[in-house]
Structures are given as structure tokens and as C-alpha cells.
Amino acid sequence: MRIDVLSIFPELFEPIVANSMLGIARERGALEFYAHDLRDWTHDLHRTVDDAPYGGGPGMVMKVDILVPAIEDIAAMDSRLPHVVFTTPTGNVFNQDKAAEYAGRDRLLLVCGRYEGFDERAYALADECMSIGDYVLTGGELAALVIVDATTRLLPRVLGNADSAADESFSAGLLEYPQYTRPAEFRGQRVPDVLLSGNHAAIDAWRYEQSVQRTRDVRPDLLDLLE
């Protein structure tokens, strides 16, 4: 799939996207990624992307006359029409279902908000608005990176261990069970015997039980969603 981001800090993306699983996804041709500098669409000497709000008040608003041509131009860079997502704390909260939906699309354009937000007229170009949680970031760039990461790892041919995805869907909506690796004993703490037993049915049952218990303790709201 192709992902474009539009930001006033395009250089923030490359170090993340070039490394880890995202870098592998790119090498394998599963991900095509482009970060565009919104200031490339300005015409003035100061490369102005924001202005004071009509009606007064604190902060600055991102200019519609810069955003809209930028989004239109980026959309036209490929024959595939992008699904356009604005990152803003006023959007719907991103989750795993959304990541799976995006992984099934062939093109995404993430528009990163800064300052007090976008001029309301720019939203006409948004297919949807996404937040990544109930806290305020200085801008949408980190949110966009979260969306890129969660989406890319679900693309075919990306996840290192093909079983990981299947295991996740089996335990969908539950937190991960505890994991151990060698040594079998560390400072008196032993790995649970069942994991050394070689009995795979017993191991699966233990893990499921641990996932349910952990979810009940830490995120009971997730169990409510399953019912």
C-alpha cells in the first residue's frame, strides 16, 4: 500500500519509517511511504502555514488555502485515490479494527494537525478524523506515526512470524499472556512448569486463562466489549 503524510515536520517520519518492521515492509515493497512538507505549498517569503483565528482567541489556525491545494496535489500524485485522514484530538479514537481496515486499503493520506487545529473549511477534504487517545499532543505527527506503524504490521508479507497474526486474532480483544525465555530459573524465579511440559493443549489453555485474568485485572472495559 501507499501512505503519504502531510506535515510541517516531514523529517520526523524518516527515522522511524526507515527502521524496524516498517523498514522491512518498505524493502519488501509492501509499503510505499512519502512525507510531504506543507510549507512547499506556501507562496510567501516566511512560508506561512497558519494565521490568527477570526473572532480572536489564543493560538493559530492552519490555513485552508495552503492545506487544500496541498492535499489535492498529493492525491493526484498517484492513480490510486487516497483515503484522507486528518489527525486531531477531536477525531474518533484509532483502534485495532481501524488499523485492519486501513491495511486493506491501497492508499492513505494522513494530514497532521498543528496549533489550534485546521480551518473548518479544510475538513471538506477529510474522509475521517482520527485521535489516538484522550490526551493532547503538540501535533498530529506522533499520532500519524502510530497509525502508520499499527497499519503496516498488518500488511501481508510484513509480520516476521506468520503465526503472530493468527495468535492475535484467536485472542482478539484480550491482553497478551505472559512470555518467558531462557534461563528456566532466574534469581529463584522459575518459569511456569506448564511451559516446559511440551503439552501444547495445556500450554494453550494456560495462556488463554492468563490472558483473561490479566485483561480482567488491568482492562475490564475490554471484556465488556467482547460480550
How far is the C-alpha of 178 from the C-alpha of 87, rounded, in Å? 33
Among 110, 132, 150, 174, contact with ligand 6GU (rule: CB under 6 A): 132
- Compute the least distance from the CB of residue 158 to ligand 6GU, in Å: 23
Task: Judge whether 108 and 85 are in contact, CB under 8 Å.
Answer: yes
Looking at the Cβ atoms of 82 and 140, the one nearer to ligand 6GU is: 140
Please state the length of the chain.
227
Spatial contact of 70 and 76, defined as CB atoms under 8 Å apart: no
Answer yes or no whether residue 136 interacts with ligand 6GU by CB under 6 A.
yes
Measured from the CB atom, the residue of 24 and 137 that comes closer to ligand 6GU is: 137
Size of the site for ligand 6GU (CB under 6 A): 13
Placement of cell 488499523 in the chain: 99
Q: Does 173 bind ligand 6GU (CB under 6 A)?
A: no
Residues between 98 and 117 that touch ligand 6GU (CB under 6 A): 113
C-alpha Rg value of the chain to the nearest Å = 22
Nearer to ligand 6GU, 54 or 135 (CB): 135
**Which residue do the cell numbers 509499503 mark?**
31
- 170 in Cβ contact with 203 (< 8 Å): no
Site for ligand 6GU, rule CB under 6 A: 87-89, 113, 131-133, 135-137, 139-140, 143
